[in-house]
Structure 1
């Protein structure tokens, strides 16, 4: 009898443990699905765009949150992530296009319709003239050493300093060099703002009679008349650029949020934000939103006449004239993920910063409406003066930055600093915990090296 009672107790205990495990898995599954999607997409991009080994990617890129739990394997055409055989997610690589996470589960990629001419080029360094003056070379070298110092979760992988558009200094981590594409994360948002201005400028040149001026363009409303039939019809392009559209959004990372769900569960990322309700009137509350940027990219897609036409414009008419290595990966709908997935060499990120310093003029050609960069630098209502139009401004965390400085800024401490009075561009790209790099120390040392 005692043995039977013991057996029953063990059986009940085993059943309880199984139920607890199943319940815990079901509770965690949404987070694990997002984590697996991140691991597959990021692993695919790093493997194919940077030619890196999957174990190196797991060790040095998937080293935070739940990501270290996932294994990576290759299959014909992409990378798969799994957790002990569970929650499998796949990302597929397409030459000239990049990696696309399968968010439908049916491998239906409209991006496949893009022909080879639409895709990005391979890395082609256009070269930068050297800057042999203007710096104490020893002090600048010490500043670069400081910027490459390891921080929590990793460190810098590339730093570039331009002075008057010339290369003053650069430094790379082992395994990376001037030809390595590096992910800008949310620095891509600033590129979306530049593309918005460039599209307006192109319209003004090709159809001057019907093209709006800058103010009329950014104040346009009723942007999605077939969807925004309620209070959202009052949302302007300007309120999207300045992230005070009033649309609901939660940008938190490290768990489930609108941002992580959009990036890792939605095949059409812009549609996810466009479908959000308005929670405040436009222009009042500032809410940082990757969804807003993808909404701007959808406006650009419609303005240019389609996805292939948009890519032709982005690459041929604008970015590849400045940054030949730039690649803007799309979501499953084929539209570029304007919030997050811009890859370029550190030198090309620096060239993009120089393009902004030059107010949209490159090699004698005007590619942006006059004053567009100044417009992006105007503080957004509700941002406490730290944000403009998809572009960051000087904040209280960086007292060494000159007052006129502005920047591209991305997750895990990606930065392109533009310092107009100093005629400097400073790029720092890498992988580490978010907001752990001493940028004030880096900038102050670079400025101290000026002579």
Structure 2
């Protein structure tokens, strides 16, 4: 009996040490993720707490958290087994922000000014009902089957697709939503937001207000070897700076998203571990640094906030679009962009049409080619804050496809050779994009 008790005590001690060293430090991130997810889903898309817990937060460890919503004061609180309480607040126009105890909730704040598109055009170039268009070259039975196959059958929870929109030759040809979602549902794009952030550099470049080939305007780098890193290097995720991008543990990315007050800073503080323009490394910190560089282009914070909407979202009628901010008022350009599926498709269509929209050139056509050109060291996988199929990641899909990609399988896929945009929003990284996109493309070749 004594021997058993000794063994039991040792096992208990090992478990305690493991929990203390491995799990306890993660609780801040778990409750932080949960609080932010609940605040955003509830206040941006009007989802119930039950819906969010069962359909957004039902991922390993995050489902440990318990959550509360304060409707009147518009904030959420999350804890893990009663520990590590975290709070996220919602502010109209800025979305939800995960905050710490030092954040002044009653401090005045700026809000982006919106100008909502009003014209008589049907979707996608307006916001009126799309015109039914029949193309003789499309096998609609094949297309319908491809779209249907993207969704789970009743009772299943494998593919977890929430929505699909397909645009061909500037016309909506297919659209489907899972139960509980509609054309007006706003869905988080996660890292698809990176492609949005990059677009503002293309817009400023067209306006003659920025030269992306010049060194990044970072004061902390002026007196060391990082001074040669250009904005172009940052746009290509090819700065050579140290960064760990992992969402299954405490990493640079998770610490930034769930503990940093100013998310533009973490990448700035990292040392050079590679050679600029020759050391591709995917980094959400880099994209938030780019958001900070954008902020420096304007004299006031209000101008920075307004620019993201007036120059792009409201210009092309992405009226549902919202990019959330951090505690310092920076747009979280790496991860926190929301929009309806139709509006995500508009963004893809803008790139399909090489920046041209309703008679106006939003960015130069060369910019669309720039973001879709492989960067050094990426093996054809990455361009300018867009992912590419140039290296054949999806073997049965055209190689000229480039796409926005986000956590849990968000995608806006652009096919220049087929005059096609395909959007899939969902909750599963295991979704078979190769088969889905292959079948959609095949339906156009009747």
TM-score with structure 1 setting the length: 0.88
Offset of residue 229 of structure 1: 2.3
Offset of residue 201 of structure 1: 1.9
**Match among 260, 263, 267 for residue 254 of structure 2:** 260
Structure 1 unaligned regions, length at least 5? 1-5, 205-210
**Match among 50, 66, 69 for residue 64 of structure 2:** 69
Specify the alignment match of 2:195 in structure 1: 190
Structure 1 residues 153 and 50: CA distance shift in structure 2, 3 A:
farther
Offset of residue 277 of structure 1: 1.1
Does the 8 Å contact 1:97/1:119 carry over to 2? no
**Match among 142, 147, 158 for residue 144 of structure 1:** 147
Specify the alignment match of 2:123 in structure 1: none
Specify the alignment match of 1:297 in structure 2: 291
Structure 1 residues 110 and 191: CA distance shift in structure 2, 3 A:
farther
Does the 8 Å contact 1:131/1:163 carry over to 2? no
Structure 1 residues 152 and 306: CA distance shift in structure 2, 3 A:
farther
For residues 377-424 of structure 1, what are the alpha-carbon distances to aligned partners after superposition, in whole Å with 9 as ceiling and x for unaligned? 111101011100001110433122212111111111110110111100
Report whether the alignment pairs 1:368 with 2:356. no
Does the 8 Å contact 1:96/1:119 carry over to 2? no
The CA RMSD measured in Å over matched residues stands at: 2.7
Offset of residue 317 of structure 1: 2.1
Specify the alignment match of 2:138 in structure 1: 135
Specify the alignment match of 2:399 in structure 1: 403
- For residues 119 and 57 of structure 1, the distance between their equivalents in structure 2, rounded to whole angstroms, comes to 30
Q: Which structure features the higher share of helix residues?
A: 1
Does the 8 Å contact 2:159/2:431 carry over to 1? no
Structure 1 residues 22 and 110: CA distance shift in structure 2, 3 A:
farther
The 3-state SS of whatever aligns with 2:418 is coil
For residues 190-245 of structure 1, what are the alpha-carbon distances to aligned partners after superposition, in whole Å with 9 as ceiling and x for unaligned? 1111111112223x2xxxxxx46xxxx12101521344421111100110000010
Does the 8 Å contact 2:150/2:161 carry over to 1? yes
For residues 165-206 of structure 1, what are the alpha-carbon distances to aligned partners after superposition, in whole Å with 9 as ceiling and x for unaligned? 11001000000000001111111101111111112223x2xx
Offset of residue 120 of structure 1: 9.3
The 3-state SS of whatever aligns with 2:320 is coil
1:365-444 aligned within 5 A: 365-394=360-389, 395-432=391-428, 434=429, 436-444=430-438
The 3-state SS of whatever aligns with 2:297 is helix
Structure 1 residues 365 and 27: CA distance shift in structure 2, 3 A:
same
- For residues 96 and 119 of structure 1, the distance between their equivalents in structure 2, rounded to whole angstroms, comes to 13
Structure 1 residues 110 and 275: CA distance shift in structure 2, 3 A:
farther
Structure 1 residues 15 and 298: CA distance shift in structure 2, 3 A:
same
Offset of residue 55 of structure 1: 1.8
- For residues 236 and 150 of structure 2, the distance between their equivalents in structure 1, rounded to whole angstroms, comes to 30
1:67-216 aligned within 5 A: 67-75=62-70, 76-102=73-99, 104-108=100-104, 112-115=108-111, 117=113, 125-133=127-135, 134-149=137-152, 155-202=160-207, 204=208, 211=209
Offset of residue 149 of structure 1: 3.0
The 3-state SS of whatever aligns with 1:321 is coil
Does the 8 Å contact 2:94/2:111 carry over to 1? no
The 3-state SS of whatever aligns with 1:140 is helix
For residues 92-122 of structure 1, what are the alpha-carbon distances to aligned partners after superposition, in whole Å with 9 as ceiling and x for unaligned? 01112110001x322336995113636999x
1:220-299 aligned within 5 A: 220-299=214-293
Structure 1 residues 388 and 16: CA distance shift in structure 2, 3 A:
closer
Offset of residue 338 of structure 1: 0.4
The 3-state SS of whatever aligns with 2:205 is helix
Does the 8 Å contact 1:60/1:154 carry over to 2? no
- For residues 399 and 222 of structure 1, the distance between their equivalents in structure 2, rounded to whole angstroms, comes to 36
Does the 8 Å contact 1:161/1:170 carry over to 2? yes
Specify the alignment match of 1:207 in structure 2: none
Structure 2 unaligned regions, length at least 5? 118-125
- For residues 301 and 251 of structure 1, the distance between their equivalents in structure 2, rounded to whole angstroms, comes to 24
Report whether the alignment pairs 1:55 with 2:50. yes
For residues 16-51 of structure 1, what are the alpha-carbon distances to aligned partners after superposition, in whole Å with 9 as ceiling and x for unaligned? 969964873464222111111001101111111121
TM-score with structure 2 setting the length: 0.89
For residues 347-389 of structure 1, what are the alpha-carbon distances to aligned partners after superposition, in whole Å with 9 as ceiling and x for unaligned? 0000100000111111111111340110111111010111000
Which stretch shifts more, 334-343 or 366-375? 366-375
- For residues 66 and 152 of structure 2, the distance between their equivalents in structure 1, rounded to whole angstroms, comes to 29
Offset of residue 442 of structure 1: 0.9
Offset of residue 128 of structure 1: 3.6
Structure 1 residues 66 and 277: CA distance shift in structure 2, 3 A:
same
